[in-house]
Amino acid sequence: MSELPRPLRSYLHDLAVKDRSPGFLLLESEGELMTWGGELAFYGLTELHQGADVGDQIPMLDAFFPLDEEGMELSCVETDAGVAADVHMIPDGKRAWVLFLDATEEKQRQQTLQQTANDLRLLRSKYAKLADRCVEEEILLSIQERGECRRISVLFADIRGMTVYGEKAPPGKVFRLLDMYLTAMTQPVLDEGGMMNRIVGGSVMGIFGILPSKLPPPLQAGRAAFRMFDNVRTIEEARRGNKKDMFDISIGIASGQVFLGAMGARNRKTLNLLGPSVHLASHLETRARPWEILICENTFPEIDDLQPRFSNVRLASEGGCASLQAFSCNMRV
């Protein structure tokens, strides 16, 4: 391989080494220290003695010498002084070089990722417990024993743009906003007598018609949808100065016969639904525009005083699906 031009060597140096406090050691093949230089004091390496075994002076390097022909790399290790460093051990004939590079930023990034993972686990746990609270034990037990067909209403709601936002914003900020919006979307389902069946990312799935209620499931679902938009509007008003951090939601509702079954481990059953209405509700939510509720033909006749707020629409065919008759309510108006 021909030698790289000087501008490229300079660029690679800046990319890999600049501002990373490089320090180095030169050792005999068996590990005796020959010479050293660079910013070793940054790593707490100040009391070094020529001719002494490196493992006796820097315990973290003990057992690596004599070095094999492929060398060695230790990523983001902590020196005795508590500084995170990438340590590269490079063979050079009968000698070996040891290069220290500051890895403080990498350590902070790893800590941030770990904290993000912890926040996500807490968030999932919170909403898993929320879903558990809304499932009456005797109802779930009765369903799991035999399974059954029942006429219910299914509501899907999604926070538009949250996934893209989450790729750019700090993780802690993303989860605080996600928690705020999910609370605004899940509480109306519970308040209207529904069950939270699923929470995935910025999407929620609510079921109406499982828990006892005097209201028909379509009306329960419709009222929950309007309350969701009221809650999100409240968030908008409270965060009026942070327009880049506000999001729209869209909702789809479908009603019909589904098969219910409780599935999972003996002590951790979850409710599973099978039927066209589940897929239709998901499809309507996908087709809904921001701040729009789309409901199916079976839902519309039973939403009582909410009917005047909806208009009849026909959704054009898309993705292999036939055109679809539905009813739309634009909550932005």
Section 72-84 average pLDDT: 86
Return the CATH number at 118. Answer: 3.30.70.1230
Residues 273 and 193 in one domain: yes
What Rg value do the Cα atoms of the chain yield, rounded? Answer: 30
Could you tell me if residue 1 is inside a domain?
no
Q: Which of 79, 102, 125 is the last residue of a domain?
A: 102
* pLDDT, mean over the chain: 83
Greater model confidence, 325 or 165: 325
- Percent of the residues in the chain that have a pLDDT greater than 90, as a whole number: 38
Please tell me the predicted confidence (pLDDT) of residue 320. Answer: 59
Cα 37 from Cα 189, distance rounded (Å): 66
Section 201-225 average pLDDT: 91
Highest mean pLDDT among 157-161, 173-177, 196-200, 270-274: 157-161
**pTM of the complete model:** 0.59
Residues 27 and 136 in one domain: no
Residues 136 and 37 in one domain: no
Is the CB of residue 294 less than 8 Å from the CB of residue 285? yes
Please tell me the predicted confidence (pLDDT) of residue 319. Answer: 60
Cα 101 from Cα 155, distance rounded (Å): 53
Residue 86 pLDDT > 70, yes or no? yes
Please tell me the predicted confidence (pLDDT) of residue 121. Answer: 67
Residues 83 and 113 in one domain: no
CB atoms closer than 10 angstroms to residue 96: 24
pLDDT in tens, 47-77: 899 999 988 888 888 778 877 777 888 888 8
Return the CATH number at 46. Answer: 3.30.450.20
Please tell me the predicted confidence (pLDDT) of residue 302. Answer: 94
Cα 131 from Cα 119, distance rounded (Å): 18
For the ranges 69-78, 87-96, 272-281, which has the lowest average pLDDT? 69-78
Cα 235 from Cα 227, distance rounded (Å): 13
Cα 315 from Cα 183, distance rounded (Å): 30
pLDDT in tens, 288-316: 999 999 999 999 999 999 999 999 998 87
Could you tell me if residue 286 is inside a domain?
yes
Is the CB of residue 184 less than 8 Å from the CB of residue 228? yes
- Percent of the residues in the chain that have a pLDDT greater than 70, as a whole number: 84
Please tell me the predicted confidence (pLDDT) of residue 197. Answer: 81
Residues 112 and 260 in one domain: yes
> What total of structural domains would you count in the chain?
2
The alpha helices in the chain, defined as continuous H runs, are: 6-16, 54-57, 104-133, 137-146, 162-166, 171-191, 217-238, 276-287
Q: Indicate the helix (H) or strand (E) that contains 26.
A: strand 23-28
Greater model confidence, 207 or 175: 207
Residues 68 and 83 in one domain: yes
Residues 141 and 257 in one domain: yes
Residue 333 confidence class, pLDDT cut points 50, 70, 90: low
Please tell me the predicted confidence (pLDDT) of residue 134. Answer: 46
Please tell me the predicted confidence (pLDDT) of residue 24. Answer: 93
Cα 15 from Cα 34, distance rounded (Å): 28
Token pair 């490229």 is found at 8
Chain-centre distance for alpha carbon 259: 31
Q: Which of 62, 81, 102 is the last residue of a domain?
A: 102
Greater model confidence, 168 or 194: 194
Residue 189 pLDDT > 60, yes or no? yes
If DSSP codes are grouped into helix, strand and coil, which group holds residue 95? strand
pLDDT in tens, 98-141: 999 999 888 888 887 777 767 766 666 666 555 554 444 556 65
Residues 49 and 71 in one domain: yes
If DSSP codes are grouped into helix, strand and coil, which group holds residue 83? coil
Residues 55 and 140 in one domain: no
What six digits make up the tokens of 45?
């390496």
Domain boundaries, position 129:
108-330
Residues 142 and 183 in one domain: yes
Cα 118 from Cα 291, distance rounded (Å): 32
Residues 94 and 145 in one domain: no
Could you tell me if residue 89 is inside a domain?
yes
Q: Which of 84, 102, 120 is the last residue of a domain?
A: 102
Please tell me the predicted confidence (pLDDT) of residue 249. Answer: 93
pLDDT in tens, 216-231: 999 999 999 999 999 9
Residues 175 and 323 in one domain: yes
